Amino acid sequence: QAGDNCIRRVAAMIARAARRPFDFCARYGGEEFALVLYAPSGGDPTALPEQIRRDTMALNIPHTHSDAGGILTVSIGSATAQPDTKRSLAGLIQSADEALYRAKQLGRNRAVHVDSAESNTPTGAFKVFAIK
At residue 111, the pLDDT reads 92
Model-wide pTM > 0.85: no
Written as one string, the DSSP assignment of 51-89 is HHHHHHHHT--B-TT-TTTTB----EEEEEE-TTSS--H
At residue 88, the pLDDT reads 77
Provide the CATH number for the domain around residue 15: 3.30.70.270
Rounded CA gap, 5 and 41, in Å?
Answer: 32
Q: What is the residue type of 68? A: A
Structural domains of the chain, count: 1
Q: What is the residue type of 122? A: P
Average pLDDT per consecutive 10 residues, the chain (132 residues; last block may be shorter): 86 87 84 80 78 92 80 89 73 87 90 65 56 66
Domain range enclosing 80: 2-131
Rounded CA gap, 3 and 77, in Å?
Answer: 22
Strand order in the sheet with 33-38: 24-27, 33-38, 126-131, 76-81, 111-114
At residue 57, the pLDDT reads 92
